[in-house]
């Protein structure tokens, strides 16, 4: 735990932010979390997240303690009671929950913190949800990126730290270049490679295999000065799909990371690529966090605006409809044209 100055009278001395969600939600939490840090710089700041995304918070040294909540398998009633008791013993002054999920809301209530701030979920929450919190913030869903929603939620709750907090969200992360060096990317390589994350957690959000092969060949042909880097998650499904993809490429990529990078290493690789290509998945969020140019392909859905970055260095192509086996309807030429535009920037 980092040493911190004593909190001023009336300010919380110990805070907890709970975000039991996926990588995207936690990346999008960071600007709101930084508001909390700026509001009370002398307080002890804890964050509770799912264990599979916990390594992301190695990039936020201004967080004092991380609580890694198990996800595989998820804790049962008895284990959750142990978690609740552990949280209650910390005597938090304030607990903040920006997702409002059932499990995280019950854990928020179990802390018995004197102030429990929750954002009402899009479905309103189950019966009695409101009474788990001492304050409820209601902000619009679906209309803008999630990081703006969470940031506005905390602003509405009074987290503005005066004029010093600024008028725009800030992803305040620290990425050590040594992470790239350990992955075999030297300083002279930075900005000279294209990173591709071909897979997501569902086939329906991925380009067809043959289209991905054609896309990689097109990137090589049109941009010979840039080398190709491929990565995938550390799951049997994605590693098998990566092996199949590699077997169909005419020449091997410059670098391949088949589930060998944790969140910090992946963020470091993405930070200095010339362009990140992916579907609707975590690497797009890491590109947004590091302000790296990115091209993505989405399947149209109600919540798509929540995950599409808003800046000139991002392009997202959206297919209407779709099929269970893959994301059909986005032309390879359109992807290559968007990639060329972003690389020229």
Which tens digits make up the pLDDT trace of 28-49? 999 999 999 999 999 999 999 9
pLDDT of residue 169: 92
Whether residue 4 lies inside any domain: the answer is no
Note whether 328 and 237 are same-domain residues: yes
Whether residue 89 lies inside any domain: the answer is yes
**Distance in angstroms (rounded) separating the CA atoms of residues 329 and 343:** 23
CB 308 within 8 A of CB 316: yes
pLDDT at 3 > cutoff 80 = no
Note whether 184 and 151 are same-domain residues: no
Domain span at 79:
14-165
pLDDT at 168 > cutoff 90 = no
Note whether 70 and 115 are same-domain residues: yes
What is the end-to-end Cα distance of the chain in Å, rounded?
41
**Distance in angstroms (rounded) separating the CA atoms of residues 26 and 19:** 7
pLDDT-derived band at 2, boundaries 50, 70, 90:
very low
**Distance in angstroms (rounded) separating the CA atoms of residues 210 and 111:** 51
Note whether 249 and 315 are same-domain residues: yes
Q: Which of 165, 191, 208 is the last residue before a domain boundary?
A: 165
Note whether 269 and 332 are same-domain residues: yes
The length of the chain in residues reads 345
Note whether 203 and 244 are same-domain residues: yes
Q: Which of 107, 130, 165 is the last residue before a domain boundary?
A: 165
Structural domains in the chain (count): 2
pLDDT-derived band at 166, boundaries 50, 70, 90:
low
Q: What percent of the chain has pLDDT over 90?
A: 91
The residue assigned the tokens 């969140």 is 263
**Distance in angstroms (rounded) separating the CA atoms of residues 105 and 99:** 8
Note whether 201 and 283 are same-domain residues: yes
CATH classification at residue 205: 3.40.50.2000
Strand order across the 115-119 sheet: 65-69, 44-50, 14-19, 94-97, 115-119, 135-137
pLDDT at 1 > cutoff 80 = no
């Amino acid at each position: 735990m980092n040493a911190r100055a004593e909190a001023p009278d009336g300010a919380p001395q110990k805070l907890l932010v709970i975000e039991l969600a996926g990588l995207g939600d936690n990346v999008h939490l960071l600007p709101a979390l930084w508001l909390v840090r700026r509001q009370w710089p002398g307080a002890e700041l804890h964050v509770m997240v799912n264990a599979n995304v916990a390594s992301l918070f190695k990039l936020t040294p201004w967080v004092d303690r991380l609580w890694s909540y198990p996800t595989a398998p998820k804790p049962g009633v008895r284990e959750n009671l142990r978690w609740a008791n552990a949280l209650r013993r910390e005597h938090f002054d304030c607990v903040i929950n920006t997702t409002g999920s059932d499990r995280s809301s019950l854990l928020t209530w179990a802390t018995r913190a004197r102030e429990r701030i929750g954002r009402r979920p899009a479905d309103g929450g189950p019966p009695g949800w409101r009474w788990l919190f001492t304050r409820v913030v209601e902000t619009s869903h679906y209309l803008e990126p999630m990081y703006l929603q969470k940031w506005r939620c905390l602003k509405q709750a009074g987290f503005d730290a005066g004029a010093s907090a600024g008028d725009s969200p800030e992803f305040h992360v620290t990425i050590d270049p040594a992470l790239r060096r350990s992955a075999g990317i030297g300083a002279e390589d930075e900005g000279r490679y294209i990173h591709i994350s071909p897979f997501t957690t569902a086939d329906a959000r991925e380009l067809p295999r043959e289209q991905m092969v054609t896309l990689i060949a097109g990137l090589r042909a049109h941009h010979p000065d840039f080398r190709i880097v491929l990565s995938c998650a550390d799951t049997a499904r994605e590693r098998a799909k990566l092996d199949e993809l590699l077997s169909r490429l005419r020449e091997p990529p410059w670098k391949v990371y088949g589930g060998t990078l944790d969140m910090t290493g992946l963020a470091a690789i993405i930070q200095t690529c010339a362009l990140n290509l992916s579907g609707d998945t975590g690497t797009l969020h890491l590109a947004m966090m590091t302000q790296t140019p990115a091209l993505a392909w989405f399947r149209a859905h109600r919540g798509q605006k929540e995950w599409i970055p808003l800046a000139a260095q991002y392009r997202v192509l959206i297919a209407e409809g779709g099929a269970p086996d893959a994301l059909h309807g986005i032309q390879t030429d359109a992807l290559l044209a968007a990639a060329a535009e972003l690389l020229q920037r």
